[in-house]
Amino acid sequence: MRLLLAGDFKLFPGSRWGPGLFLSFVTLAALAGTAEVIKIARVTALASSTEVSAVRKGLALDPDNPELHFRLSQLYGGSLELTNHTEGVAQAHRAVALNPHKLDYWLNLASACESIRDAACSTRAVQRVLALSPMAPRVWWVAGNYYLRTSRPQLALPCFQHLLELNPDFLTETLDLTLRAYGDPKVIFEKVVNSGTNVTLALAFADYMSANDHFDAAHQAWTRIAGSGATFPFGAVRPYLEHLMSQGRYEEAQAVWLYLEQRGVIAKPRDSGPDNLVFNGGFEQPPLEAGFDWRSAPSPYVSVDFTDPSAYEGARCLRLDFPVSQNGESEFVYQILPVDPGQAYTLAACVRTRDITSDSGPRLRVVDPDCPACLSVSTESTTGTTAWHSVSADFIADKQTRVVRVSVWRPRSRTFPMDISGSFWLDDVSLRPIKSGRAEESIIAKR
């Protein structure tokens, strides 16, 4: 049927109803459009209501609106009455029937069916969710949780593995959940984390496990990583390495450190001699502030500069400035070093000072961090203004000593002048074993 146009009313010449009749048609069409807009707006508002009666009114206006059925299912799902849960399932089915491509509708159906323990229905809904959005991490999280709740680990763990492949940021949440559910970190590593390609993820697993005192599982992950010969940035392994150090697991930490040196992740300084145990003793490269490199202890009273150019040799040295006079015991920088129990060593360095005012100036100290009473030796204090000169101290590691802590240390002064100010420089720090047969003679002579 052809629509009438304004010009068609010329077929009735002289009729006064022609133009008016056309305007009536236009007005009716506009009113019909306005009514439809009002209806859509009202239904949309009712679809977000928290009242069942309001959503029912929306269905009376628009019975085939899937959003209304979805909303009604959600409201029934929040009810404590089983009959309402059953009705919620019916409404969820109606929503997916009207729009089978909406992810949220299938998620809601899975939840609704699970609430009435309809395993077949909820499983089909979860599978449909995965089929609709296989690249969305959220759906794999939902599916993994669902299979966990329904005691199907053979289905849950692959879901979590796929989730982490899509988005590694879910690692902490995934490990929190799966550890509570299974309690076996090794199984979780094998079935969830170890996809064979994501070394960063495996390192994050080692970090998480060591932070939660599952060091055996963390070591398993590290062994797998090291066996692969993978290379990665230092930042990826640093958290795991620091957990090992903080818990006194020095042998494991040393194995990690040596691997990083061998793979070039850590650059071994050129100034380190073959028998010098101090890493970066000449301060020729920026310290990592981690592992077996130098670390600084921040203080408002001391300025620490690892890049001072007035070195004894090389391009850089360590400089400490004391801009605020004070009298307190301080350890400004330090390094942890593995040693052999019962071995004798010489700790040596070059130092210089300018206007160090206290009678207790900075010095090098070596202690056993696990047993300070077993080993605590320091070089002599340096005060006033001095040119570059050598300082040293010999010691024998206790039979139980595995590592020592070498530091720049200043003990509290007991005599006037007590407060320290001025500047101190340090370069060419070394810790070398004393050859057998000369060890005790050297130490006794210096005493």
**Would you state the torsion angle of the CA atoms of residues 192, 193, 195, 199, taken in this order, to the nearest 10 degrees?**
170
Question: With bands split at pLDDT 50, 70 and 90, how would you rate the model's confidence at 132?
Answer: very high
Cα–Cα distance for residue pair 134/413, rounded to 1 Å: 68
Q: Identify the three-state secondary structure at position 354.
A: strand
Q: Identify the three-state secondary structure at position 342.
A: coil
Residue 42 has pLDDT above 90, yes or no: no
Q: What is the mean pLDDT of residues 10-20?
A: 50
pLDDT at res. 393: 97
Residues 6+ apart with CB under 8 A from 395: 344, 345, 347, 366, 375, 377, 443
pLDDT at res. 437: 59
pLDDT at res. 26: 45
Q: Tell me how many degrees the CA angle 232-235-238 measures, rounded to the nearest 5.
A: 105
pLDDT at res. 2: 44
Q: What is the mean pLDDT of residues 175-195?
A: 90
Q: What is the mean pLDDT of residues 236-241?
A: 96
pLDDT at res. 416: 82
Instruction: Give tens-digit pLDDT for 265-300.
Output: 999 887 667 789 999 999 999 999 999 999 998 888
Residue 435 has pLDDT above 90, yes or no: no
pLDDT at res. 62: 87
Cα–Cα distance for residue pair 258/237, rounded to 1 Å: 13
**417 prior amide bond cis, ω within 30:** yes
CA dihedral sign, ordered 53, 54, 60, 63 = negative
Q: What is the mean pLDDT of residues 191-196?
A: 79
Mean pLDDT over each residue of the chain, to the nearest integer: 87
Does an H or E element contain 403, and which? strand 403-410
Q: Taking the complete model, does pTM exceed 0.85, yes or no? A: no
pLDDT at res. 297: 83
Domains, in order of start, for the chain: 6-42 (no CATH), 295-446 (2.60.120.260)
Residue 406 DSSP label: E
Q: Count of alpha carbons within 13 Å of 4, Cβ hemisphere only? A: 14
Residue closest to 165 by CA, chosen among 131, 133, 200: 200
Instruction: Give tens-digit pLDDT for 57-85.
Output: 888 888 899 999 999 999 988 776 667 88
Instruction: Give tens-digit pLDDT for 352-401.
Output: 999 999 889 999 999 999 999 999 999 999 999 999 999 999 999 999 99
Question: With bands split at pLDDT 50, 70 and 90, how would you rate the model's confidence at 441?
Answer: low
